[in-house]
Structure 1
Amino acid sequence: MEKYYDVHNHLFNKNFLAKELLYRMIKELKKLLNIHKERGLDRGPDRGLKNVITSLRRFIKAIRVFRRKNSTAVYEELNKTYQGEFILTPLTFDLTYCFAPSAERDMDETPRSIAKEAFEDEMKTMFEDIEQEVRSLSRDFNPGAEESDDNLWKEYLAEKNRFMEESRDFQEPEEEREPESDTRGLFKRRTEFDGWNEQIRQIEDLKKHPEYKDMVFPFLAIDPRRKNITEYAMNNVGKGKLFVGIKLYCPTGYSPTDPVLFGPEGERGGIYSFCEDNGIPVTTHNSDGGFATLAKEVKVTGLIQVNGKLHQLNDEMLKFSTAIHHKNAIYERALTLNHPLLWEKVAEKYPNLLLNLAHFGGGSQLKLALENPDNKNLWTNKIIDLMKDNRYKVYTDVSCFTDFDIIDKLLASPVYPEIKPRILYGSDYTLLLLFEDNFEENVRQFKEKFGADFDVIARKNPKEFLKHVI
């Protein structure tokens, strides 16, 4: 039988992006806590603590997957569900500058990440916030607490300790390794704070695996601030090369129209020109959540979006109104650096660029758009307009979706038949494990909900998206 495609997945392991993944977990727990607070604890502190316990247990299971010895082992874990039925396009990450302490573009080749410090700070404040809200359940703080509440508190402490124990392995310094060849990355030597070379090495090993080499076609993560990245991409991305596509993540601190990507003003050039000329697909994170730069200000060249209008910055400092610990910080950075209005400018200049605006804007944005189809200012409605415009080759994917009520709304919407040829299936594994307790059930739900159209989004459309490189 012809294979399916999962066009959005990650094969991270503890030897790279370990601290960054832990940081992402803690941000999700803090988001849950903020939602709980905004509801005025109307469901009671016991309900809130039960949700925290459930999340901690899910994260512990995710950590155990992340702890696999390498990306090949993570692929094998994923394949327990896929059973060889899916071709994967693993997306790599470059979060070096996201966690860098400086906003400057020109930094040393091995900038010291603050991921470890960020994780520890976020974790400390998060557990303090949780315990401040729910300590009344404990007889240690409230002698009159019910026995069932006190038992719930003890259950929480046990899961917290398990989480701390499981995550400890991620916080150990990474083993330094000299690259075996000059093709395995851009740095001569890895450091404790940069797993870039290790990520490339593991992807290369997976791609060379005799059983899996025809099942995985990786995408190279590009951050325009990384030195020599254009040369590296042109040498290593394309049909028959280690990478077949490009992955971008603009909220980490750069504009979609950065000259390294967009080329000179009024002229073709840069990464997009290279991709358009060679049929190389580009997948970009495009939701209102996820990772975002920890810096309060970043130096940007390119367009930004503010209040529905685009502004050009030329090697200028972009100052955010919120610090990264603020609950709206990631949303602000996404709006400013990753809004579909910015990607419209990319599509206009490079109409034949195969562009996947991943995540459909995110579940909450998709829900809002489906409920308000006439509001063209909404994030996902902008994506839909780009997908419907036949001048462009803009796609989206449904990766990292766990709320299938929203999928039901999408399938029942009048716009679905019109945009169906531009929707791609993606899982977002392993990051999906932060939100989903049962990956196998998630895949089953997608197949059931889409029915015969699962062949469209997981076979026909991905083959079109990848036709020049696979």
Structure 2
Amino acid sequence: MKGAGGADGLRRRKACKRNVKREARKEWAVLRKELDELAEQTGRGDRREIGEMKQALRRLSRKTERLPLGKRDAFRTQEEELLKLAAAHPGRVLPFYVVDPRRPGNWLHGPDETIDVSPMTDRLVPELGGKGGFYGFKLYCPNGYSPTDPALMALYEYCERHGAPLTAHCSGGGFASFSPSITVHGHVYRNGEVVPHDGVLEFRHYRLTDKLRVKEKAELLNHPRLWEKVMEAFPRLRLNLAHFGCQDEGMEWTELIYGMMEKFPGLHTDLSCITETAKLREMREYVLKAPEQVRRKFLFGSDFYLNLLFLDGMKEYMENFRNTFTEQERQELMTANPSEFLGLS
């Protein structure tokens, strides 16, 4: 999961997969125990449903045990497939390269604490100073790192200078690491403040069944105030905070991001994975009240197949969007604004 190269890379991949298997066995055991306890407390109909869940769990655990420890690097395979797809559809498929400061081989650290980001930036298209086929970078901080990690700050400096766009997940939901502790460099958001952190970060919530697992890591590692610190250092960084900070309760993150869009020239947001018509209408109110320079920074987004967790299909998603925004508004969100964000206009 953290990448590799050569014999050392193969050893790392094998070790990583062994760790995945070991941790998965622990989680399966906890889940089985929870399901057994739940079955004892419920009626016959519910027990039947729990039995089906246990069967699904057994199938998933068997798949984990069959996880091969061979040479295949799935991350590199996906990278190659994306580039093939982009080459087959020039100008229509514009892939972003996923960034994780913990991934070995993507950063070169000098003896004087300098950080060389060329292994990453070389993957960008020549128009952005690279040698590859990617049009920007994607970040997902709740997976276990801070937006202000020193390696990322070095990358932001390059991206601001060359106009390379970045998209970062920024909502109260989504995915998050299952680790009970992670080594984090940079800053975290704790008790209403952005505070420096350089070392092990412990989590109270990390199990698969813990409903607060994602929320805790989102607050600590992905709060808009952390991104505000990034934008204060790089105000013209072309950054898209995806999902407009949507949360299950309240509008705190959305309000913060909107205020930051007024303040920082490079900050954008998108409306991806906002599936409910009522929520889309709330988002439209922000678009309509925004001054022109801010309105141009709202982007359409889909999150594609993840929407299928909430809707019957993408047709329903698009219909909700069409029924909420006018044709002129859709043209701005889907064509004009994204073109400007990507540097294509």
CA–CA distance in 1 between the matches of 2:34 and 2:121? 47
SS across alignment from 1:335: helix
* Cα contact 1:352–1:393 (8 A) shared by 2: yes
Aligned partners of 2:259 and 2:215: how far apart in 1?
A: 22
1:394 to 264, 267, 270: 267
State the match for 1:344 in structure 2: 228
Structure 2 counterpart of 1:443, from 299, 303, 318: 318
Deviations 1:309-367 (A, max 9, x none): 121123x22222333443212211111111111111111111111001111123425xx
Q: Is the 8 A contact 2:243 2:273 kept in 1?
A: yes
SS at 2:242 equivalent:
strand
Q: Does 1:221 align with 2:98?
A: yes
2:32 & 2:77 partners in 1: Cα distance?
A: 32
Q: Decide whether aligned partners of structure 1 residues 436 and 271 sit closer, same or farther in structure 2, where only a CA change above 3 A counts.
A: same
Query: Shift of residue 414 of structure 1?
Result: 8.4
For residues 456 and 124 of structure 1, the distance between their equivalents in structure 2, rounded to whole angstroms, comes to: 50
Name the residue aligned to 1:144: none
State the alpha-carbon separation in 2 of the partners of residues 256 and 312 from structure 1.
12
Cross-structure match for 1:457: 333
User: What is the TM-score of this pair, normalised by structure 2?
Assistant: 0.80
**Ranges in structure 2 where 5+ consecutive residues have no aligned partner:** 4-10, 107-116
Measure, in 2, the Cα distance between the counterparts of 1:132 and 1:174: 33
Query: C-alpha separation between the residues in 1 aligned to 2:259 and 2:317?
Result: 28
Q: Following TM superposition, by how much is the alpha carbon of 1:248 offset from its aligned partner in structure 2, in angstroms?
A: 0.8
For residue 132 of structure 1, report the CA deviation from its aligned partner.
4.7
Task: Tell me the distance in 2 between the aligned counterparts of 1:247 and 1:421.
Answer: 21
| Residue 431 to residue 127, structure 1, CA distance change in 2 (3 Å) | farther
Cα contact 1:256–1:342 (8 A) shared by 2: yes
Alpha-carbon distance between aligned partners in 2 of 1:416 and 1:131, rounded to the nearest angstrom: 52
Output the amino acid matched with 1:424. Answer: L
Is residue 234 from structure 1 mapped to residue 121 from structure 2 by the alignment? yes
- The answer to whether 1:202 aligns with 2:81 is yes
Indicate which of 357, 374, 379 corresponds to 2:253. 379
Q: How many residues align?
A: 317
SS at match of 1:381: helix
Identity %: 31
Aligned to 2:203: 320
Query: What residue in structure 2 maps to residue 246 of structure 1?
Result: 137
Q: Name the amino acid aligned to 2:266.
A: K
* 1:148-189 CA distance string (max 9 Å, x none): xx4x7657756875786589667643595xxxxxxxxxxxx4
Residues 1:173 and 2:67 aligned together: yes
One-letter amino acid matched to 1:408: R
Larger RCO, structure (CA 8 Å, separation 6 or more): 1
Relative to structure 1, the CA distance from residue 412 to residue 272 in structure 2 (aligned partners, 3 Å threshold; closer, same or farther) is closer
**How far apart in 2 are the matches of 1:231 and 1:414?**
37
Residues 146, 222 of structure 2: 8 Å contact kept? yes
Q: What CA distance in whole angstroms lies between the structure 2 residues aligned with 1:350 and 1:416? A: 26
Task: Kindly provide the amino acid, as one letter, of the partner of residue 145 in structure 2.
Answer: Y
Q: Tell me: CA distance 1:160–1:196, structure 2 relative to 1, closer, same or farther (3 Å).
A: same
1:141-152 alignment, distance < 5 Å: 150=45
**Residue matched to 2:300:** 425
The residue number in structure 2 matching 1:410 is: 283
In the alignment, is the contact (CA less than 8 A) between 2:99 and 2:138 conserved in 1? Answer: yes
* Aligned alpha-carbon RMSD (Å): 3.0
Distance 1:280 1:413 in 2: 26
Distance 1:130 1:440, change over 3 A: farther
- Which deviations, in whole Å up to 9, do the C-alpha atoms of 1:81-137 show, x marking residues without a partner? xxxxxxxxxxxxxx649xxxxxxxxxx753514445555655564566456546643
- Equivalent position amino acid for 1:249 in 2: Y
Q: Aligned partners of 2:20 and 2:312: how far apart in 1?
A: 26
Moved more, 392-401 or 120-129: 120-129
Normalising by structure 1, what TM-score? 0.60
Partner in structure 1 of residue 109 of structure 2: none
Asked if 1 retains the 8 angstrom alpha-carbon contact of 2:147 and 2:226, the reply is yes
List runs of 5+ in structure 1 lacking aligned partners.
Answer: 1-94, 98-107, 139-149, 177-188, 263-269, 370-377
Amino acid at match of 1:458: M
